[in-house]
């Protein structure tokens, strides 16, 4: 049975469209791998001129207060100006973070990136990637690659580059979540964050039609609509937590982002654990993360994205806060009960579960409210997970129940401001007649 998780129990991260910890940037749409869950069309000519990317950063500057810039793509490490781009972002006072598959990472390139001001490396490694030399490997076998990448970041980063891992989770890899969380714990000294992205396919939904500006469209044209995933049943955050709790029964998230249509849905679910390779002492509570986000905004003017590895490796520096925080007091107490470990290191590691766009039965699309991964596009900030819709159709896709014309019109969702230029669903008579047949 699925865990009962109530959003009321957690701190709602204060991230919004205008003021957010993170913002997404895509200097290229070219990639050197094929990942099943990827949202982006791989374009061999996808490198943007550096001036274009800098112009996109001006859009970010104009529209959003942000702490970090997640440089993604495509594969950012094959972008020819990546070092200059990282240097430019750091010079603007933002934390540059690279989201990469890691294939092209060398000690030399990482040294250049570190010296240019890189703050974080987030590696996407999972068993549904078509990765030369690693094809057909299980998630457990891929830990060898994960460790190689994390060690490189640790050795070259000199405490200046945080290291995170993303894994897209499918039905057939949901059972691997506890193993991945255990692996992350074993390497808490060099792995600072583990992110589970729950796979979504823009599959043809029974009972729903897709529209753009009132016209029927075929979502089969989108890169992330996969024939062989037609029967895929979306995984929700609750299931990922259930899986985590098979290895960590007391696993407790502390913060979340809700959905734009369903306030109780947990689109981003954050847990912060204190411990070391052999033991987890406990989890930060909602007050702790509220303090961290509020204090960072008060002192630095932005909500916190990436924390410096030094702080994460020296979790004891946060323990004085236990005087006022019950969650930390519990962690201190657990530590005191293990006298042999009093002088063992205390690490901090985050576990994030991300549940991208849900399409509700009535066709509404439940996006992450305060989307951190919004990307500059055409002078505005849009959901990066649905950017292909703008490229393919010129506007976002909306869905409506496949019913008679009157009821379809009555139930048509009203686009929110965040849906940009998506038009109300005005089903034309021909389409309605076709559907009735």
Binding site for ligand SF4 (CB under 6 A): 267, 356-357, 367-368, 371-373, 383-385
Least CB distance to ligand SF4 at residue 321 (A): 29
Least CB distance to ligand SF4 at residue 426 (A): 25
Least CB distance to ligand SF4 at residue 121 (A): 19
E strands, 235-318, are: 255-257, 268-276, 279-283
> How many angstroms separate the Cα of 383 from the Cα of each of 15, 106, 222, 376?
14, 31, 15, 9
Q: Which is nearer to ligand SF4, 38 or 367 (CB)?
A: 367
The total of other beta-carbon atoms located within 10 Å of residue 299's CB is 8
Interatomic CA distance for residues 131 and 353, integer angstroms = 24
Q: Is the dihedral of CA 176, 178, 184, 187 positive or negative?
A: negative
Q: Which is nearer to ligand SF4, 104 or 234 (CB)?
A: 234
8 A C-beta contact, residue 193 and residue 350: yes
Cα-Cα-Cα-Cα torsion 10, 11, 17, 19, nearest 10 degrees, comes to: -160
Backbone φ and ψ for 358, nearest 5 degrees, come out as -100, 135
Least CB distance to ligand SF4 at residue 388 (A): 12
Q: Tell me whether strands 268-276 and 255-257 are parallel, antiparallel or unpaired.
A: antiparallel
Q: Which is nearer to ligand SF4, 256 or 383 (CB)?
A: 383
Interatomic CA distance for residues 241 and 5, integer angstroms = 9
Q: DSSP secondary-structure letter at 42?
A: -
Least CB distance to ligand SF4 at residue 427 (A): 26
Q: Which is nearer to ligand SF4, 129 or 384 (CB)?
A: 384
Least CB distance to ligand SF4 at residue 304 (A): 17
| Tokens 């609509």 sit on residue | 225
State whether residue 35 is helix, strand or coil. strand
Q: Which is nearer to ligand SF4, 199 or 283 (CB)?
A: 199
Q: Which is nearer to ligand SF4, 25 or 371 (CB)?
A: 371
Least CB distance to ligand SF4 at residue 368 (A): 3
Q: Tell me whether strands 193-198 and 347-354 are parallel, antiparallel or unpaired.
A: parallel
E strands, 137-296, are: 162-169, 193-198, 208-212, 215-216, 255-257, 268-276, 279-283
Q: Which is nearer to ligand SF4, 53 or 367 (CB)?
A: 367
């Amino acid at each position: 049975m699925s865990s009962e998780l109530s959003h009321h129990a957690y701190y709602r991260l204060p991230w919004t469209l205008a003021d957010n910890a993170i913002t997404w940037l895509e200097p290229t749409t070219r990639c050197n791998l094929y990942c099943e869950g990827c949202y982006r069309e791989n374009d061999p000519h996808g490198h943007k001129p550096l001036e274009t990317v800098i112009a996109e950063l001006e859009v970010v500057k104009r529209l959003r207060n942000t702490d970090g810039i997640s440089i993604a793509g495509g594969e950012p490490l094959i972008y020819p100006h990546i070092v200059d781009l990282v240097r430019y972002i750091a010079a603007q006072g933002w934390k540059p973070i690279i989201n990469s598959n890691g294939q092209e990472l060398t000690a030399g390139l990482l040294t250049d990136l570190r010296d240019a001001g890189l703050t974080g490396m987030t590696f996407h490694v999972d068993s549904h990637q078509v990765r030369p030399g690693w094809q057909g490997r299980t998630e457990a076998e891929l830990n060898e690659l994960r460790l190689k990448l994390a060690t490189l970041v640790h050795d070259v980063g000199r405490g200046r580059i945080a290291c995170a891992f993303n894994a897209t989770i499918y039905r057939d890899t949901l059972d691997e979540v506890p193993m991945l969380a255990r692996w992350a714990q074993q390497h808490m000294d060099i792995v600072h964050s583990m992110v589970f992205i729950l796979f979504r396919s823009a599959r043809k939904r029974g009972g729903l039609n897709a529209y753009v500006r009132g016209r029927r469209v075929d979502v089969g044209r989108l890169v992330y609509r996969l024939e062989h995933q037609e029967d895929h049943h979306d995984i929700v955050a609750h299931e990922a937590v259930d899986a985590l709790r098979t290895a960590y029964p007391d696993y407790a998230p502390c913060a979340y982002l809700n959905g734009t249509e369903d306030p109780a849905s947990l689109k981003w679910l954050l847990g912060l654990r204190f411990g070391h390779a052999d033991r987890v002492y406990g989890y930060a509570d909602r007050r702790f993360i509220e303090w961290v986000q509020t204090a960072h905004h008060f002192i630095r003017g932005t909500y916190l994205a990436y924390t410096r590895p030094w702080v994460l490796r020296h979790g004891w520096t946060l323990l004085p806060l236990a005087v006022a925080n019950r969650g930390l007091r519990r962690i201190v107490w657990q530590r005191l009960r293990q006298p042999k470990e009093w002088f063992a290191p205390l690490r901090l590691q985050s576990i994030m579960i991300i549940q991208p766009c849900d399409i509700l039965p009535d066709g509404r699309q439940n996006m992450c409210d305060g989307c951190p991964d919004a990307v500059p596009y055409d002078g505005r900030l849009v959901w990066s997970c649905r950017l292909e819709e703008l490229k393919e159709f010129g506007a976002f896709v909306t869905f409506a129940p496949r019913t008679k014309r009157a009821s379809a019109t009555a139930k048509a969702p009203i686009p929110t401001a965040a849906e940009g230029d998506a038009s109300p669903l005005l089903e034309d008579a021909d389409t309605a007649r076709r559907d009735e047949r």
